Amino acid sequence: MDGRFGKAGAVGGKLLFAGALGLLAFQMSGRTATEPAAAPSPPAAKAPAPIAQAAPPPAAAPVALPAAAGDDAFVVRRVLDLKAPLHHGEYAWDDAGVPQGPIVITIDLAAEMLSIFRDGYEIGAAPILYGADSKPTPLGTFPILQKDAHHVSNLYGAPMPYAMRLTNDGVFVHASEVSWDAATHGCIGVPKPFAQKLFAQARIGDKVIITKGRMMDVSGLRGPA
């Protein structure tokens, strides 16, 4: 289903960070760095110099987790290393050097973020539009049922470029004008240039996993694997 309208209760000016989905059993461990001991005091002072403790690293941006393990679980090898938050209407893409492999698309409604993984490597991320309270976007795992680069909604007569059908009752991922104060009739809207890249990567049967606020730490996953 397509259609854009104002989203009640939207948070103005909210900055979104790139997200990604990971294996439920995947665990990360943090390390606290220490600096070398300070130089010793003059011979008259016998007390040892204290060891200075480095400040803890900044918290990593959270990424989405699937609702359950099993078929929905996969190994995340890398997430995109973004230098700044993404605003609505922006996107990030970097598939240089990433091997061919299975495609998994993850969507977290709480973070308002879609990520695409190829062989476990995040290659793209973008803020999204999603269904308003009266037309909510469903949660769960959905295989892509249909692809149509020039789809037009049979309910609203609206163009839905680069549409990928998730459900038989009209929920798609498709290109849209993405702004923080808008919503859809249940579909997932992404910026058109990003939608075109997404459409080119995904195949019929590829999984799209939609969650709402299940997060994990991704410390250590940024950059090359």
- pLDDT value of residue 215: 58
Band (180; pLDDT cuts 50, 70, 90): confident
Span of 98-102, 105-109, 115-119, 178-182 with lowest mean pLDDT: 178-182
Q: Are 224 and 199 in contact (CB under 8 A)?
A: no
Could you give the count of Cα atoms lying within 13 Å of 175 in the half-sphere of its Cβ? 19
pLDDT at 145 over 90: yes
3-state secondary structure of 80: coil
Q: Which of 121, 131, 197 is nearest to 169 (CA)?
A: 131
pLDDT at 101 over 90: yes
pLDDT at 194 over 90: yes
Q: What is the rounded average pLDDT of the residues 191-219?
A: 88
Class of residue 107 by CB neighbours under 10 A (exposed 0-12, middle 13-18, buried 19+): buried
Band (10; pLDDT cuts 50, 70, 90): very low
DSSP 39: P
- pLDDT value of residue 21: 38
pLDDT at 45 over 60: no
- pLDDT value of residue 181: 82
Q: Who wins on pLDDT, 121 or 214? A: 121
pLDDT at 23 over 50: no
Q: Which residue has the tokens 């940024």?
A: 222
pLDDT at 74 over 60: yes
Q: What is the rounded average pLDDT of the residues 52-57?
A: 37
3-state secondary structure of 102: coil
Q: Are 46 and 133 in contact (CB under 8 A)?
A: no
pLDDT at 31 over 60: no
Instruction: Please report, in angstroms and rounded to a whole number, the separation of the first and last CA atoms in the chain.
Output: 38
Q: Who wins on pLDDT, 12 or 225? A: 225
Taking all residues of the chain, what is their mean pLDDT, rounded to a whole number? Answer: 75
Q: Who wins on pLDDT, 121 or 50? A: 121
In angstroms, rounded to a whole number, what is the distance separating the alpha carbons of residues 40 and 46? 9
